[in-house]
Structure 1
Amino acid sequence: MTKITKAACIGGGVIGGAWAARFLLAGIDVNMFDPHPEATRIVGEVLANAERAYAMLTMAPLPPKGKLTFVKSIEEAVQGADWIQESVPERVELKRNVITQIDAAASPTALIGSSTSGIMPTDLQRDMKHPERMFVAHPYNPVYLLPLAELVGGEKTAKATLQEAKAKLAPIGMKGVIINKEIEAFVGDRLLEAVWREGLWLIKDDICDTETLDDVIRYSFGMRWAQMGMFETYRIAGGEAGMRHFLAQFGPCLSWPWTKLMDVVDLDDELVDKIAGQSDAQSGARGIRELERIRDENLVGIMHALKSGDGGKGWGAGKLLADFEQSLWANAEKPKTDLGDAQPIRILDTKVNAAWVDYNGHMTEHRYLQVFGDTSDGLLRLIGVDLDYVKNGHSYYTVETHIRNLGEAKLGDALYSTCQILSHDEKRLHIFSTIYNAASNEPVATAEQMLLHVDSKASKAVPALPEVIARVEAIAQAHAGLAKPEGVGRSVGQKR
Structure 2
Amino acid sequence: PTRIASDCAHPDRVLIGHPFNPVYLLPLCEVVGGAETSAGAVERAAAVYDFLDMYPLVVRHEVPGYLSDRLQEALWRETLHLVSDGIATTAELDDAIIYGPGLRWAGMGTNLTFHLAGGRGGMRHMLEQFGPALALPWSKLEAPELTRSLVDAMVEGTRRQADGRSVDELERLRDDYLIATMRALRSVGQGAGEILARREARRYGETSLIWSEGAAVRAPLELYRCDVEPDWVDYNRHMTEAAYLTAFGWATDALFRYIGDDEDYRAAGHSFYTVETHVNYLREVAGDDSLRFATLVVGLDDKRLHIYHEMFDDATGDLVATTEQMLLHMNTAAGRPAPIGGRPARALQAIRHAHAALDKPGYLGRVMKTRETS
Do Structure 1 and Structure 2 share a fold, with TM-score over 0.5? yes
1:395: which partner in 2? 271
1:322 aligns with 2:231: no
* Residues 335, 346 of structure 1: 8 Å contact kept: no
Partner of residue 358 from structure 1, selected from 234, 242, 253? 234
1:156: which partner in 2? 36
**Count of residues in correspondence between the two structures:** 371
1:275 aligns with 2:168: no
3-state SS of 1:229 partner: helix
Inter-CA distance 440–221: structure 2 relative to 1 (3 Å threshold): closer
Unmatched segments (≥5 aa) in structure 1:
1-120
| CA shift for structure 1 position 411 | 4.2
* Residues 335, 347 of structure 1: 8 Å contact kept: no
| CA shift for structure 1 position 396 | 2.1
Letter in 1 for 2:21: N
RMSD: 2.3
Partner of residue 185 from structure 2, selected from 292, 300, 306? 306
Letter in 2 for 1:274: A
Q: Give deviations 1:288-319, integer Å, cap 9, x for gaps.
A: 1111110010011111111111xxxx111111
| CA shift for structure 1 position 453 | 2.3
TM-score, with normalisation over the residues of structure 1?
Answer: 0.70
* Residues 304, 318 of structure 1: 8 Å contact kept: yes
> 2: distance between equivalents of 1:460 and 1:320?
34
1:124 aligns with 2:30: no
Q: Give deviations 1:383-442, integer Å, cap 9, x for gaps.
A: 112333334443323232111112222344443211111111232211011112345544
Q: Give deviations 1:123-172, integer Å, cap 9, x for gaps.
A: 22221111111112111111111111111111011111112222222222
1:117-266 correspondence to structure 2 within 5 Å: 121-261=1-141, 263-266=142-145
Inter-CA distance 454–172: structure 2 relative to 1 (3 Å threshold): farther
Inter-CA distance 191–438: structure 2 relative to 1 (3 Å threshold): closer
* Residues 232, 239 of structure 2: 8 Å contact kept: yes
1:430-449 correspondence to structure 2 within 5 Å: 430-449=306-325
> 1: distance between equivalents of 2:251 and 2:358?
19
Unmatched segments (≥5 aa) in structure 2:
none
TM-score, with normalisation over the residues of structure 2?
Answer: 0.92
Letter in 2 for 1:322: A
1:22-33 correspondence to structure 2 within 5 Å: none
1:369-388 correspondence to structure 2 within 5 Å: 369-388=245-264
Letter in 2 for 1:264: A
2:355: which partner in 1? 479
> 1: distance between equivalents of 2:299 and 2:182?
38
Inter-CA distance 355–379: structure 2 relative to 1 (3 Å threshold): same
Letter in 2 for 1:316: G
Letter in 1 for 2:102: G
* Residues 137, 151 of structure 1: 8 Å contact kept: yes
* Residues 28, 57 of structure 2: 8 Å contact kept: yes
3-state SS of 1:278 partner: helix
1:62: which partner in 2? none
> 1: distance between equivalents of 2:18 and 2:218?
53
* Residues 208, 258 of structure 2: 8 Å contact kept: no
Q: Give deviations 1:461-490, integer Å, cap 9, x for gaps.
A: 333332210110001011112222223333
3-state SS of 1:375 partner: helix
Q: Which moved more, 1:289-298 or 1:365-374?
A: 365-374
> 1: distance between equivalents of 2:208 and 2:237?
32
> 1: distance between equivalents of 2:218 and 2:193?
40
Letter in 2 for 1:190: R
Inter-CA distance 221–353: structure 2 relative to 1 (3 Å threshold): closer
> 2: distance between equivalents of 1:224 and 1:321?
18
1:459-478 correspondence to structure 2 within 5 Å: 459-478=335-354
Inter-CA distance 201–370: structure 2 relative to 1 (3 Å threshold): same
Q: Which moved more, 1:408-417 or 1:208-217?
A: 408-417
1:415 aligns with 2:291: yes
Partner of residue 165 from structure 2, selected from 268, 273, 286? 286
Inter-CA distance 267–393: structure 2 relative to 1 (3 Å threshold): farther
Inter-CA distance 415–330: structure 2 relative to 1 (3 Å threshold): closer
* Residues 340, 475 of structure 1: 8 Å contact kept: no
> 2: distance between equivalents of 1:157 and 1:201?
39
Letter in 2 for 1:363: M
| CA shift for structure 1 position 454 | 2.7
Inter-CA distance 453–336: structure 2 relative to 1 (3 Å threshold): closer
3-state SS of 2:21 partner: coil
